[in-house]
Amino acid sequence: MTESADILVIGGGIAGLGVAAMLSGEARVIVLEAEPMPCFHSSGRSAAVYIKSYGPPGVRAATIAAEPFFLDPPEGFADAPLVKPRGLLFLDPEGGGLDALLAETPGLVRVTPEEAAERCPVLRTDRIVEAVWEEDAQDLDVDLITGGFRRMMRAGGGHLVTSARVETLRREGGLWIAETKAGAFAAPVLVNAAGAWASQVAAMAGAAPIRVQPKRRSAAVVPPPVGVDAKNWPLFTDAKETWYAKPSAGKLIVSPADAEPMEPCDAWPDDMVVAEGLHRFSEAVTFEVTRVERTWAGLRSFAPDGEPICGFDGRAEGFFWLAGQGGYGVQTAPALSALAAALISGAAPAIDPAPFAPARFG
């Protein structure tokens, strides 16, 4: 038996859940997720930060557009704040590496090495030539955000089917038919929110061959120095993004900021890459990392120009792209979900869709 809907969404990460939440209520939506649980891949592995200065121009516009949602989500979305102030220090050990950043983003300020160390006391001031402070960088509560999207989706009548990897796709009589081990599903509109697998899903549908490249990003949890309370430190990063660190639950998350191209997979960290990143981090701070408590990795998936892809495909009728969110898929989720929902339902979009149009790849 084939279950039918108005819209099928492939992928139960933050992208798929977000667009399903925004469309449910006005359309019958089914989200098909390959894994036994949602957010098993990238969406469950992020560093959970919101940074307005991060990414190419379209991403920055979507990040700014997402802020009102994070600060004031719809009634009943979550029972605690989605964001918490964190702040961000960019540290340049050479000088001259922060000029472009300052020129591109309003609201950033230069601080002296001593002012940087007041905010984060383990910094080696002799290793800082220039520093910049981004006051409104925030911590995001990803569980609350994805949980809120799921609740919103259910309230609108949408539902998630897990352990439902889409194995084949075909267009028949104006409908997409998706075959999974959990059954067959049909709808006139299909949303490709498959994260690292987006190009594979597009190939199954005969859609445009846009290369969405997954790149591994790893992270390690390390204890701060004994007796030191790190919880109010900001996020801090090397100006060239060769490592970054942020406090989390009394510990420090340190990422080697790796970006190793990979095939779509359940990503695992490379011990050597993590060790090299921790070494770069330790050159910037006054303490030694002697213990790593836990490591993980996930995939950040990029379109060729680094901007997300959000829009109907030019070749395959009813096939909608919501992919390539790179390292910004959480902080842009409310804005890109709303843009996707508007483009699918024919409503006026709140942000300019042009930077995200699949047609930009010809």
Q: Which is nearer to ligand FAD, 130 or 258 (CB)?
A: 258
Of 75, 11, 70, residue with least CA distance to 44:
11
Alpha-helical regions (H) of 5-93: 14-23, 57-71
Helix (H) or strand (E) holding 160: strand 159-161
With 0-12 CB in 10 A as exposed, 13-18 as middle and 19+ as buried, what is 327?
Answer: buried
Q: Distance between CA 73 and CA 146 in Å, rounded? A: 12
Nearer to ligand FAD, 128 or 327 (CB): 327
CB of 114 to ligand FAD, least distance (A): 28
* Shortest CB 31 distance to ligand FAD, Å: 9
CB 277 within 8 Å of CB 257: yes
What's the CA gap between 86 and 44, in Å, rounded?
Answer: 20
Distance (Å, whole) CA 275 – CA 220: 9
Query: Taking CB under 6 A as the rule, does residue 207 contact ligand FAD?
Result: no
CB of 362 to ligand FAD, least distance (A): 23
Q: Does 269 bind ligand FAD (CB under 6 A)?
A: no
Residues in the chain, total: 362
Nearer to ligand FAD, 225 or 353 (CB): 353
Using CB under 6 A, which of 5, 8, 10, 351 touches ligand FAD? 10
Which of 34, 278 has the CB closer to ligand FAD?
34
| 27/278 Cα distance (integer angstroms) | 48
7 C-beta neighbours (distance < 10 Å), count: 26
Q: Which stretch binds ligand FAD (CB under 6 A): 79-87, 92-100, 196-204, 310-318?
A: 196-204
Using CA atoms, how far residue 160 sits from 3, 149, 338, in Å, is 13, 11, 19
Q: What is the per-residue binding string for ligand FAD in 149-188, x denoting contact by CB under 6 A?
A: ----------------xx----------------------
Q: Among the candidate windows 183-191, 276-284, 296-304, 341-349, which touches ligand FAD by CB under 6 A?
A: 296-304
Cβ–Cβ under 8 Å, residues 157 and 151: no
Helix and strand numbers (H, E) in the chain are: 8, 22
Q: Is residue 14 a contact point for ligand FAD (CB under 6 A)?
A: yes
Residue 75: strand, helix, or coil: coil
d(CA 159, CA 29): 7
Sites for ligand FAD among residues 219-248 (CB under 6 A)? 219
Contact stretch for ligand FAD (CB under 6 A) within 222-230, 236-244, 270-278, 327-335 = 327-335
- The residue among 108 and 192 lying less far from ligand FAD, judged by its C-beta, is 192
Tokens read off for 250 = 């009394």
Smallest separation (angstroms) from ligand FAD to the CB of 238: 16
Binding mask 18-57 for ligand FAD (x = CB under 6 A): --------------xxxx---xxxxx-xxxxx--------
What φ, ψ does residue 77 adopt, rounded to 5°? -65, -45
Helical (H) or strand (E) element with 312: strand 309-312
Q: Which stretch binds ligand FAD (CB under 6 A): 112-120, 121-129, 150-158, 328-336?
A: 328-336
Q: In angstroms, what is the minimal distance from the CB of 206 to ligand FAD?
A: 15
Q: Which is nearer to ligand FAD, 213 or 331 (CB)?
A: 331
Binding of residue 274 to ligand FAD (CB under 6 A): no
Residue number with CB closer to ligand FAD (89 or 117) = 89
Q: Which residues bind ligand FAD (CB under 6 A)?
A: 10-16, 32-35, 39-43, 45-49, 165-166, 193-197, 201, 217, 219, 298-300, 325-331
